[in-house]
Amino acid sequence: MNIYAIKAIYIHEMSRFFRTIIGSLISPIISTTLYFIVFGSAIGSRITDIDGITYGAFIVPGLMMLNMMTSSLNNGAFGIYFPKFSGTIYEILSAPVSSFEIVIGYVGAAATKSILIGIIILATASLFVDLEIKYPVLMLLIMIMTVVSFSLFGFIIGIWSDSFERLNFIPTLVVTPLVFLGGTFYSIQMLPELWQKITLLNPVLYLVSGFRWSFFGTGDVSITTSLLAIFLFTLLCISVIILIFKTGYKLQT
């Protein structure tokens, strides 16, 4: 195992995050604050408790998931896309480093950044609402599994993309709508029956629900189903990445 290479990629990627530390940290704090002003106070005060949870507290896991998923996806995609775009990918391809080590370096960094953002949001949210996490270990596990799987998904998008337009295509046009429609800010029980059934087709629902379950012990679907969904999604991403490196798709000529 080329530990030095993994460390080099990881530090290299993290340094990009720390180069823009103010933007990286301030941005989630401001957006979380705005969400709480709009959804928590203005609209939330008119919404009744959901399963005995105040609306302000109810949206915290969804808000964390929304930001962590978006961050993992963007960081995972940009991390590998940028060397392709700038031409510096030659160095990765010609180095004595396996595809597994490359993925650990890039995905590890993207996941770390997203966890940091999740923690910042949690800390900011705790200023607005009273929060008690019922299953903290499970919360941490789901958090890690989600950021890793979405960073892997982002990594696939980064390899697939050959322009900035493509890079933004899936995150903006596919993932963001799925995240917003996946119970981030509401329980699916608040929807008409037909829409409840349609929403069950949305994979993001299982992630958000599982994460919410770790906070409050209640969710739209069972925790086992959620964990299974995250596991299957991670497995799917890993399989695609193995295939990419095996065939050299969009990396090697």
Instruction: Please report, as ranges, the residues that interact with other proteins according to CB under 8 A.
Output: 2, 4-5, 7-9, 11-12, 15-16, 19, 82-83, 86-88, 90-98, 248, 252-253
The nearer residue to other proteins, 12 or 166, going by C-beta atoms, is: 12
Q: Report in angstroms how near the CB of residue 6 gets to other proteins at its nearest.
A: 9
The nearer residue to other proteins, 8 or 200, going by C-beta atoms, is: 8
The nearer residue to other proteins, 85 or 180, going by C-beta atoms, is: 85
Q: Report in angstroms how near the CB of residue 221 gets to other proteins at its nearest.
A: 43
The nearer residue to other proteins, 4 or 195, going by C-beta atoms, is: 4
Q: Report in angstroms how near the CB of residue 36 gets to other proteins at its nearest.
A: 34
Q: Report in angstroms how near the CB of residue 162 gets to other proteins at its nearest.
A: 16
User: Would the CA dihedral through 144, 145, 150, 154 be positive or negative?
Assistant: positive
The nearer residue to other proteins, 48 or 86, going by C-beta atoms, is: 86
Q: Report in angstroms how near the CB of residue 167 gets to other proteins at its nearest.
A: 17
- Measured distance CA(162)–CA(232) in Å, rounded: 27
How many other CB atoms are found less than 10 A from the CB of residue 60? 27
